Structure 1
């Protein structure tokens, strides 16, 4: 099941936090560490949501959790497979939360989606990339339709930043920086 949160409404970061906790609690496999896989590139405005979230999480949660994908070290189509293999090798018991920008219906512009299950990066621009993550979070940055690559190039930066800020705020509320992985598991 995928949950949709309108970030233009008051309390949206709290809802993101609540749904993220719900997805974590509903994840059936055992895990002992948390990995955030923030997908996208800083070279396309509409696709920088993931790296921007990764950048903020790195600043807010230094050393607490494993974060892959920032503005200076993005995880994108060219290195996603290598990064996924690295995560599987070095974090075999991790719960991976994948974060990416997405395109959607006009009525969902500015929404965040959260759900259990893998994320399919690049699907909006017809790229065939492997599914990643155990839980997915997406920010709907623009509308899907024709010429998706151009749509991502002309996406408003303010939309991306607003969505990324809400996602980051929701994650930080769900995973406080003062909590270590083992404590986080027990508190849930």
Structure 2
């Protein structure tokens, strides 16, 4: 199940929320907690989507879900393997939702993708990193092609922030913030 959502459409938050909920319900009885793994670095504008989402979500985390990867404690190529092992050890029954920036076709710039299955971080810049998560969310921040690292470095911050805001709003609409309501989706 893969969803492509144009974040510029007026109903994009509702579509993000509904799509994420469908993906979560696919795993209905296989988990007891949610973990958001927000991947990227604050040192490259195009790659800070994950940490920006993580930073915003972290103010809501704790009782209902956990967040790894923020602007102050990013999860990136150098520490991804260790943090993912930590999550698997300390959250063995978690449904892991991985979030990252991605590059895509020009017509998909500004789209959010949500899908069941692991995320393959670093693929756009040809890095060999472990696949992570049960569900993944990506924001297409720029166009793929040649010189992907340069493309990520020259991505507009406004695009990243716009997509991050839409993703966070969609997540918060799809995830109950109280333990009582949370048990209804389990």
Instruction: Compute the TM-score of the two structures, normalised by the length of structure 1.
Output: 0.95
How far the C-alpha of 1:29 sits from its partner, in A, is 5.7
Mapped contact 2:5–2:112 kept (Cα < 8 A):
yes
- 1:62 deviation in Å? 4.7
CA RMSD in angstroms, aligned pairs only = 1.3
Name the structure 2 match of 1:135: 135
Residue 28 (structure 1) shift: 6.0
Runs of 5+ in structure 2 lacking a partner? none
> Which residue number in structure 1 is paired with residue 169 of structure 2?
169
Asked whether 1:186 is paired with 2:184, we answer yes
Q: Offset of 1:54 from its aligned partner?
A: 0.3
Q: What SS does the corresponding residue of 1:60 show, helix, strand or coil?
A: coil
Compute the TM-score of the two structures, normalised by the length of structure 2.
0.96
1:37 is matched with 37
Q: For the residues of structure 1 that align with 2:64 and 2:184, how far apart are their CA atoms?
A: 16
Identify the residue that residue 74 of structure 1 maps to in structure 2: 74
Cα distance change of structure 1 residues 123 and 29 upon mapping to structure 2, 3 Å threshold? farther
Deviations 1:128-173 (A, max 9, x none): 0000000000000000000000000000000000000000000000
Correspondence list, 1:21-170, <5 A: 21-27=21-27, 30-170=30-170
Structure 1 unmatched ranges of 5 or more: none
* Distance in structure 2 (CA, Å) of the matches to 1:84 and 1:134: 12
Report the Cα distance in structure 2 between the residues aligned to 1:62 and 1:93, rounded to whole angstroms.
16
Q: How many residues align?
A: 186
Which stretches of structure 1, 4 residues or longer, exceed 6 Å deviation after superposition?
none
- Displacement of 1:7 after TM fit? 0.4
